[in-house]
Amino acid sequence: VEDSVAEDMQRLERSFRGFSKKYRLINRIGEGTFSTVYKAEDLHYESYSNKWDLDEKENLYSPSGRKTHQSGQRRPHFVAIKKIYVTSSPQRIMNELDLLHDLRHSDAICPLITAFRDKDQVVAILPYFRHLDFRAYFRDMNVADMRIYFRSLFTALAAVHDSNILHRDIKPTNFLYDTHRKRGVLVDFGLAERHGTDHQPCLCTLRKEDRKQRIQQSYNHTHDHPLGYPKGDQRPSLRANRAGTRGFRAPEVLFKCTAQTTKIDVWSAGIILLTILARRFPFFNSSDDIDAVIELATVFGKAKMKKCAMLHGQMFECNIPTIGEEGYTLEKIIIWSTRSVTRDKYGNKIRLGAAEAEAVEFLEACLAMNPDQRISAADALQHPFLKERDG
Ligand code: ADP
Ligand code: MG
């Protein structure tokens, strides 16, 4: 591993002359579909911004503005170098850098320090944020820990959504959480988009009566096109953005909604909460969108899935005998996955305690099938589960 990091360093030096004078690669910290991320020492320390100051004890940046850098003394400090694969499209890379620039004022979002380009090679430099692998701590979280984690995540989401941006890839590896300092930052805007970028009419944006009428019309006319869109339609075929990660995609993404909103991120955050409450990661593990719909149907039941599909002009038919019409409550799912028995010694059904029950009530608000009825990130921060209490 050491050797290949050294090779990577040489490669970076070849593309960007003087790179090795500026940064010293320490190790590889992430390797994804779209990039390789390294931890590196920044050899030319400058105070990048007042918002992100060096924590002298811990050698990392913290978005507090507590301390300011005393010039003259050079200390080691760390950055994350994100080397974006040359196979990523230029628009995609530009988009990521552009959106990060827009969001630079939020403490809950990892800012961009700078970026370099050489032909098709782009590297982004971010402050290094210490964090643990989600799998190392999620099983040990109690409800109080969950409140703090999700307050941090929803603060980030509220800022992103307030800027009319959809992150599109909310999942544990894109929210770097420091369990000691109880703070997290949102990273990876590689799939993010401005609201409305690829909007096209979807049945879900119509009023209920109008939607019903459209569906009825399409039944009367023909059966071999998606509901609601007449045969011989001259408009370009509808293409829904499906970007995201399997298991975290909102039902409207799976049902190819063409008018997706910031609520898709709230769903994905809900899946993280479900994972923590059920103590199972990954909770959903589908290989494709059809599988993913079936997994959702197993939990939520056929009736809800049908209704949800219809909302976006799609059909949902399922003849798998183990999938019921009504599905299960999230409370039941969580009790099944975390308790070895579901009844106490008197034969009474085990119920969740008050704190967990409040978490589940919040979870239900995040996992509403209809995005219109799903809680917004801003409202989530006012929900009893996340609202700061006195004392
Ligand atoms: P990708 O598009 O390849 O998923 P990400 O931006 O999500 O790239 O980064 C991949 C991984 O690199 C993250 O999951 C995280 O472990 C690590 N990483 C990214 N940015 C930072 C940072 N600022 N500080 C520390 N680690 C980071
Ligand atoms: Mg990522």
Alpha carbon of 36 to ligand 2 centroid (Å): 10
Q: What one-character-per-residue DSSP string does 156-171 give?
A: HHHHHHHTTEE----S
Query: pTM, whole model, 2 decimals?
Result: 0.89
pLDDT classification of 201: cutoffs 50, 70, 90? confident
Q: Is the CB of 296 under 6 A from ligand 1?
A: no
Nearest ligand (C-alpha, residue 29): 1
| pLDDT digits 0-9 by tens, 356-365 | 999 999 999 9
Point out the least confidently predicted range of 10-24, 61-75, 151-165, 359-373.
Answer: 61-75
Q: Which residue has the higher pLDDT, 284 or 61?
A: 284
Give whole-number Cα distances, 11 to 15, 30, 31, 83, 158, in Å: 6, 18, 17, 11, 39
pLDDT classification of 224: cutoffs 50, 70, 90? low
Report the C-alpha gap between 166 and 104 in whole angstroms: 16
| pLDDT digits 0-9 by tens, 6-40 | 899 889 989 998 899 999 999 999 887 889 999 99
Q: Is the CB of 129 under 6 A from ligand 1?
A: yes
Mean pLDDT of the chain: 88
Mutate to test the pocket of ligand 1, among 188, 248, 272 (most ligand atoms within 8 A of CB): 188
Q: By alpha-carbon position, which residue is closest to atom 11 of ligand 1? A: 30
**Which atom in ligand 1 lies closest to the alpha carbon of residue 188?**
6
Q: By alpha-carbon position, which residue is closest to atom 12 of ligand 1? A: 30
Report the C-alpha gap between 42 and 127 in whole angstroms: 10
Point out the least confidently predicted range of 171-175, 197-201, 205-209, 221-225.
Answer: 221-225
Residues 6+ apart with CB under 8 A from 344: 350
Q: What is the pLDDT of residue 67?
A: 43
Q: What is the pLDDT of residue 71?
A: 44
pLDDT classification of 44: cutoffs 50, 70, 90? confident
Q: Is the CB of 297 under 6 A from ligand 1?
A: no
Alpha carbon of 28 to ligand 2 centroid (Å): 14
* Residue 295, token pair as written in the block: 């997994």
Q: Is the CB of 324 under 6 A from ligand 1?
A: no
Report the C-alpha gap between 368 and 204 in whole angstroms: 14
| pLDDT digits 0-9 by tens, 84-134 | 998 888 888 999 999 999 999 999 999 999 999 998 889 999 999 999 999
Question: Residue 136 above 50 pLDDT?
Answer: yes
Q: What is the pLDDT of residue 4?
A: 85
Rank 68-82, 160-174, 207-221 by mean pLDDT and report only the highest. Answer: 160-174
Q: What percent of the chain has pLDDT over 70?
A: 86
Positive or negative, the CA dihedral 273, 352, 180, 365 is positive
Mean pLDDT of 233-260: 84
Q: What is the pLDDT of residue 68?
A: 41
> What was the ipTM of the complex prediction?
0.99
pLDDT classification of 231: cutoffs 50, 70, 90? very low
Is residue 365 within 8 Å of residue 272, measured between CB atoms? no
Q: What is the pLDDT of residue 110?
A: 94
Point out the least confidently predicted range of 141-155, 188-202, 248-262, 263-277.
Answer: 188-202
Q: Which residue has the higher pLDDT, 49 or 42?
A: 42
Q: What is the pLDDT of residue 61?
A: 54
